[in-house]
Amino acid sequence: MAIYNLRGIVFRAVDYGETSKILTVFTREEGIISVMARGVKNPKSKKQNLVSVFTEANFELTKLKDFYYIKDGEIIKDNLHLRNNIIKIYITQIFFDIIERTMFKNEKNEIIYDLLIKSIHYLNLSNKYITILNMFLIKIISILGYKPVLFNCVACRKKKFKEIFFSESRGGILCEDHQNHDCIRLDFLEYEYLCSILVQIYEKIDIIDNKVDEKKFLKILINFIRYNTEISVPNSYKTLSKLIGIS
């Protein structure tokens, strides 16, 4: 039987029968797959950590029809740092939920995989949690093909503005002459923030000015993603909203 060596991160682990689990794993090579982990609930099983949610590992799998079976694996990162902070747990869950809702099963996307792993890595290194979440959201929606137009007015293409507005439905920035009833006014600091989270890499997160109301942007970005992909709002986002006080 063919062996598949896939690098992946466990999104979900659901009990199956007395001793097994069915995992949802996002892999770099094959996208989101279902994996049967037989016997892992057995206390003697050495694979228990391998099949925990948030674990990133090199999985050794066999495949029968559309299902993969765990043969073995080696943990790359257990991401235990996430478990000691409830905000980090929900932010990571939002990463997972957005990916699961916007990608098809078995749809490979290495760029999104690498973005996810990097986002989780920076949740450990930095305490700018909402900045990281906003960066993830604007980057993933751009990768998915809905990059917001930020450097000129969507309507007239001019690059100098007296006032700046963001429009979900027009997919970017509108100037003072083309604003309409359903766009959101941004001041210049906010505009700069929006541009920064789009173009900056996580390595430069410290130069992003997060004195603006970042929750306002979290809401804008979630609505922007919903508008373009027509996904439903994940419960993880609803819970985080309550935790951090977004109405």
Interface contacts to Zn ion, rule CB under 5 A? 153, 155-156, 175, 177-178
* Residue 226 beta carbon to Zn ion: minimum distance, rounded to whole angstroms: 25
* Residue 157 beta carbon to Zn ion: minimum distance, rounded to whole angstroms: 7
* Residue 178 beta carbon to Zn ion: minimum distance, rounded to whole angstroms: 4
* Residue 158 beta carbon to Zn ion: minimum distance, rounded to whole angstroms: 6
* Residue 179 beta carbon to Zn ion: minimum distance, rounded to whole angstroms: 8
Is the Cβ of residue 25 or residue 186 nearer to Zn ion in the bound state?
186
* Residue 118 beta carbon to Zn ion: minimum distance, rounded to whole angstroms: 35
How far apart (Å, rounded) are the C-alpha atoms in residues 25 and 35?
7
How far apart (Å, rounded) are the C-alpha atoms in residues 184 and 80?
38
Is the Cβ of residue 152 or residue 210 nearer to Zn ion in the bound state?
152
Is the Cβ of residue 108 or residue 158 nearer to Zn ion in the bound state?
158
Is the Cβ of residue 78 or residue 163 nearer to Zn ion in the bound state?
163
Is the Cβ of residue 117 or residue 154 nearer to Zn ion in the bound state?
154
Q: How far is CA 240 from the centre of its chain?
A: 14
Is the Cβ of residue 156 or residue 201 nearer to Zn ion in the bound state?
156
